Amino acid sequence: MGRRIALRLLGAIPLLFVISLLVFFISQAGPADPIKDALSQKLTAHQIAEIRNAYGLDQPVYTQYVNWIKSLFTSSGGISLSVRSGVWGIVFPAFRNTLLLVAAATLLAVVLGVGIGFLAGIRHGRLADRLTMLLVQIGSNLPVYWFGLIIIWLTAVQWGWLPAGGMHDLRGEGGFGDLMLHLIAPAFAASLVGMLIIARFVRAAVIESEQSDYIRTYRSQGFGQRAIIGKHIGRNVLPPIVNTTGLVIGSVITGAVFVEGIFAWPGLGSVLLSAIPGADYPVIQAGILLIAVTFVVINLVTDIALDLLNPRLRHGGSGT
């Protein structure tokens, strides 16, 4: 077991190296030019060349790559081209805010998704199930952007229950309650797609489990519904829930990037959206790298969790 985990951890290292190369060279290969884009309409070619030189952007690409990797291991993480302050100082606080949003959204997605899926699965084929699935179908096709705007319009503008955006009340003292109040709507918007994916998986797993022979056997032997659901169906649908949740976090992170824009949530998505127009490479690269690392970590954790949930592996089986 320990060996499996160690192997998975080791496997992540070359993966991270490849990711760093991709992150760097994709942004280099793109048409963007940090100086030209921001100022080209307002500067001459000579002036642009001067600025490029001042920022070291005229050095060979591999030198820039090495410089970038080196800078990642400094306390500043390099210097933002547009704001001229340390990259980590910009990226880490934003990342923390994104993690908070993603964690809240994932929690909502899992709790509500599992709840909806379970209830629909148990009532398989009945009206309640069909109605739920219809709404799941509609919900899955809602664009996150549009859904976010509707939530703002309803909860903030029309009903006045929740703030229209931001992470805290700029007029107030802040605090935990204020933060939670600001978190609800964006977390819900970011969770929607993942929640419905989980709901569908859980429903399918519950139905499959319910129709399996051993459940029928239990039932024929007079086990109560509560015991069957709790002890047997519940345990059997757990691995797919963990597996799907791992995948869903990915969609939640992607959704969060858009949600942050709509809800003015000061996370990594907002930072990236504002860094891209200025082609602020150091910030964009660090931000994307951080997201990539997050994905790698989540996959690792999911894999390890699945290993732990798999009794065959837990009892020392060789696995595949």
Partner 1 sequence: MLSSRRALLAPLALIAIALPLLTGCGGASSAGGATAGGQPRDGGTLIVGQYQEVTQFDPNRQYSWETWRIDRNIYETLVDEDLSSPTGVPKIVPKLATSWTITDGAKTFTFKLRQGVKFSDGTPFDAKAVQFNVRRFTDPKFKYYDKVSAATMGLVYADLASFKVIDDDTVQYTFKHPFLDFLRQIPNSGNAASGIFSPAALERYGQDGLANHPVGTGPFTFQERVRGDHTTLVRNTSYWGKRPHLDKVIFKPIGDDQSRVAALQTGAVDLISRVPPDSVASLEKQGFSVPENKSVPQIIHYNFNFDNHYLQDRRVRQAIIAAIDRKQLAAQIYKGYAEAATSIVNQGNEAYDPGAVDYQYDPAAAKKLIADAGYEPGQIKFTILSDTTGQPTAEYLQQQLKAVGIDASVQSFEWITYGTRAANLKKTDGLYLGEWGYVAANWVQIAHSFYVAAKGGDKYSDTSDATNRAIAAAADNADPDKVKELWQTASQALAKDATIFPLISFNRYYAVSKRVGGFVWPQQNHYDLSRVWVAD
Rounded least distance, CB 171 to partner 1, Å: 6
Rounded least distance, CB 154 to partner 1, Å: 6
Rounded least distance, CB 241 to partner 1, Å: 16
Rounded least distance, CB 156 to partner 1, Å: 5
Between CA 275 and CA 71 the distance in angstroms is 18
Bridge partner list, 79 = 86
Question: In the chain, what are the helix, strand and coil shares in percent, each to the nearest 5?
Answer: 75, 0, 20
Residue whose CB is less far from partner 1, 277 or 319: 277
Rounded least distance, CB 70 to partner 1, Å: 18
Between CA 157 and CA 162 the distance in angstroms is 9
Residue whose CB is less far from partner 1, 8 or 123: 123
Contact between 194 and 113 (Cβ < 8 Å):
yes
Q: Which two tokens stand for residue 229?
A: 């659901």
Residue whose CB is less far from partner 1, 54 or 107: 54
Which burial class, exposed, middle or buried, applies to 48 when counting CB atoms under 10 A from its CB (0-12, 13-18, 19+)? middle
Between CA 291 and CA 103 the distance in angstroms is 14
Assign 180 to helix, strand or coil.
Answer: helix
Residue whose CB is less far from partner 1, 2 or 172: 172
Residue whose CB is less far from partner 1, 14 or 160: 160
